[in-house]
Amino acid sequence: MKYLKKNDISKLTRKSVIYLLATALCEFGIACYYTARLGTDPISVFVEGVSFHCDLTVGEISTICNIILGILLFFFDRERFGFGTFLMILTAGPLIDLFYGLLLRCFPPEATMLGIRIAILVTGILTYAFGLGWTILCDIGVGPFSFPPLFLTKVFHIDLKYTQILTDAIFFAIGFFLGGVYGLGTVLSVLLTGPLMTFFMKYSEPLIRKIEQS
């Protein structure tokens, strides 16, 4: 693999640090969705909906989905499968739990005003989109749930922001019909994640490339 060549170890290390930071931002964003209690992201709605129809926990279903999408990523878009894919699978769940626990201590549901919850939701929308974009820019392997929009972009040559909206809408629709809990935050996530993600990617790419070459 090109990322394991001896002369690329330093670059891989820098990219891995950025990737972990980006993953942390993604999962912090998801934790904000949960803390705000105004509707989770579409993937969480999907996972929760599936959990209502099988004898598995949300965490177990999420892991299974990650594995299935990771396999599809390997076979159908192998150039985007890499070290980062494993980092995302291994760290996503624990980071969500960590951030959610910390946020609940700071903003207990019964004592948090609506205005603060809205601010937390906005923070979640922004950090999730920003982190998601950076995991793609790092180019060391995308997260499994990034595979569907990226694959559609590759096959149909459609802008990533639109394929992200489409796949988020599909996850939301399936989760909705399976009984997943949704809200304003879910709708905003469907509509805004793709455009915000590509916006952040556009203006962050020069910084990422500069760090790579330093």
What is the spatial distance between Cα 143 and Cα 2, in angstroms, rounded to a whole number?
19
- pLDDT tens digits, 110-125: 889 999 999 999 999 9
CA 184 vs. chain centroid, Å, equals 18
Give domain status of residue 187, yes or no.
yes
Does residue 16 lie within any of the structural domains?
Answer: yes
> 44 is in which domain, residue-wise?
10-213
Evaluate whether residue 5 is within a structural domain. Answer: no
* 176, 44 Cβ separation under 8 angstroms: no
Long-range CB contacts (within 8 A, 24+) of 152-155: 154/77
Tokens 């964003």 belong to residue: 29
| pLDDT above 90: percentage of residues in the chain | 63
Q: Is the C-alpha dihedral spanning 62, 64, 70, 73 positive or negative?
A: negative
C-alpha distance across the termini of the chain, in Å: 22
Summarised one tens digit per residue, pLDDT across range 170-209 is 999 999 999 998 999 999 999 999 999 999 999 988 887 7
Question: 205 lies in a domain?
Answer: yes
Cβ neighbour number for residue 78 with a 10 Å cutoff: 9
Is residue 171, in this structure, part of any structural domain at all? yes
Q: How many domains does the chain have?
A: 1
